[in-house]
Chains A and B, each alone.
Chain A
């Protein structure tokens, strides 16, 4: 079934007309297919749609206008750091020397890219306070897995094979327990203290000789800096375990707190959050991992090596036998890494600290506006880092309007919703992260919209419960979509559209 409605439109396959369109797939040179076994050759040409250029361009431009994106409006999705993606990043990534380099190019023709990757590693080492970095992982969660696999290799190399547990606070991102499970370890959940931090006594009690690692997000998913981080890490090391720092909230601490210097052994970095690379399209992403001395021998191979003469090369196969091996093909998502590099060079060290200060200022400004409005609950009052939690618990009790309804109604005001129902430890949670790239006028307008919706909840709850009213599609049946997923478009019978010869 295809999308429908006035602003939605048919797929390219449905718009296709036989023979329309200028460019054809070129024929393979004579004899090029001779060595392909017959059973691997197509019996029919592929069923590609046939359209002219204006129809194709209009199709995609119209589809893009259905999206809410950082290019179209405020996107305060907590924990996701939806900051502006500067266009200069795109310029850098499209430079032909980077964009057109063959992934199998020999080192001597890839010197520019190798140098960029090496320099990016050095900058991330400085930012993290760690000793070495791998750029290979393709996303944050992939970086987590890389980090925990290195921790496992570290324990195993020491003959310390009884360590099966990974301690994770109950406010953590779901990727933390998933990572532990993927790495063959067991997750032990730790309850939060009343102030939103980690309960030090519960934490100490859970540590044991079977603890392999502890995963801590700092600042936490409550937007609060973990002030007991020094004691926590000391306790971790005292039982022989390693401390993993989830770097999801790195935007709150750039130039102000270095996890490596605080004693963390490993952390991942989400370039799409902190370093302004695109979130969209499901990838490719990049999740570099920074490690201290203990884990450096286990970094994925191949690493970029800088020779004494200033040239660069990739490690050779088997050069570093302690490595956990490859985590991804080639050297990582280089197009994304070029964008992160461009961002870092644009801002420099002092600029990065300013980014963090402004991100924290913006979050506290918005938090104080909502606290002053008196209509939303603020479970953790006081100063926050780069994000904060508001809750619609009181609104729900008084009017029946839930956080989900408010999130949908925000779309009618031109704003994307904050993250809702996360962290799971707070009822009717909204996790709001404005980032440093929004103006005070935008922050004011967003706060006004939230307060207006709360007023509307008292006078006209039905309008909110049936929102959105102005979006391309109305309230979606999320449960129905999950229970009966319809994942693939299929042509109607007899609708096959072959490529013309």
Chain B
């Protein structure tokens, strides 16, 4: 069900690694659990994020939740569309609902993330 070419965290973020750039968002499972997203607070370009530390906040009608970085690196791009259309996180979590792109500082960190099959197992148990 979830895209096979992505890696995942147990906190329901996904990451697509392309060379030394990684695109990060939250999964459809997370979006469903959150309910309608109304606001996404993201770091600005140039900030550094640390693996498994918070990099932002997502606010839904139900709750405010932290976002955790799957990988360490420097933020090189932020999805500005989410400012005016936070609902993209619900409607297109793996596409238009992406959140940040980072320049990966340690490619080996990818090995510590879940693959699609492992993530599927995690969410089917939840």
Contact = CB atoms under 8 A, between A and B. Distances in A.
Interface stretch (B20-28, B56-64, B92-100, B102-110): B56-64
B39 interface: yes
Contacts of A424: 63
B86 interface: yes
A174 B86 CA distance: 22
A482 B63 contact: no
Interface string B59-100: 101111000000000000000000000110000000000000
A421 B36 contact: no
A479 B63 contact: no
Contacts of B38: 479, 482-483
A479 B87 contact: yes
Interface in A215-270: none
A400 to B, nearest CB: 13
A174 B87 contact: no
Given A483-B38, A483-B87, A478 B64 contact: no
B11 to A, nearest CB: 12
A478 B62 CA distance: 10
B64 A482 contact: no
Contacts of B39: 482-483
B62 A421 contact: yes
Nearest to B90: A479
A237 B87 CA distance: 46
Interface in B12-64: 35-39, 59, 61-64
A482 B36 CA distance: 10
For this complex, into which size category does the number of interface residues on chain B fall? 10 to 19
B109 to A, nearest CB: 22
Contacts of A174: 64
A316 B11 CA distance: 53
A258 to B, nearest CB: 33
Nearest to A485: B38
A407 to B, nearest CB: 12
Contacts of B36: 478-479, 482
A483 B36 CA distance: 10
A483 B86 contact: yes
Nearest to B86: A483
A110 B38 CA distance: 49
Query: Which of B39, B59, B61, B87 is most buried by chain A, counting CB atoms within 10 A of its CB?
Result: B61
Interface in A424-478: 424, 478
A248 to B, nearest CB: 18
A424 B59 CA distance: 13
B35 to A, nearest CB: 8
A483 B39 CA distance: 7
Interface string A387-425: 000000000000000000000000000000000010010
Contacts of A421: 62-63
Nearest to A482: B38
Contacts of B35: 479
B30 to A, nearest CB: 13
A273 B35 CA distance: 29
B71 to A, nearest CB: 22
A209 to B, nearest CB: 21
Interface string A138-160: 00000000000000000000000
Query: Which of B36, B37, B59, B87 is most buried by chain A, counting CB atoms within 10 A of its CB?
Result: B36
A482 B64 CA distance: 13
Contacts of A479: 35-38, 61, 87
A424 B62 CA distance: 9
Nearest to A420: B62
A477 B25 CA distance: 25
B113 to A, nearest CB: 21
Query: Which of B59, B62, B87 is most buried by chain A, counting CB atoms within 10 A of its CB?
Result: B62
Nearest to A479: B36
A218 B63 CA distance: 22
Given A174-B64, A478-B36, A482-B61, 6 more contacts: A421-B62, A421-B63, A479-B35, A479-B61, A479-B87, A482-B36
Interface of A: 174, 421, 424, 478-479, 482-483
21 contacts: A174-B64, A421-B62, A421-B63, A424-B63, A478-B36, A478-B61, A479-B35, A479-B36, A479-B37, A479-B38, A479-B61, A479-B87, A482-B36, A482-B38, A482-B39, A482-B59, A482-B61, A483-B38, A483-B39, A483-B86, A483-B87
Which 3 A-B pairs rank lowest in CB-CB distance, beginning with the nearest? Answer: A479-B36, A482-B38, A478-B61
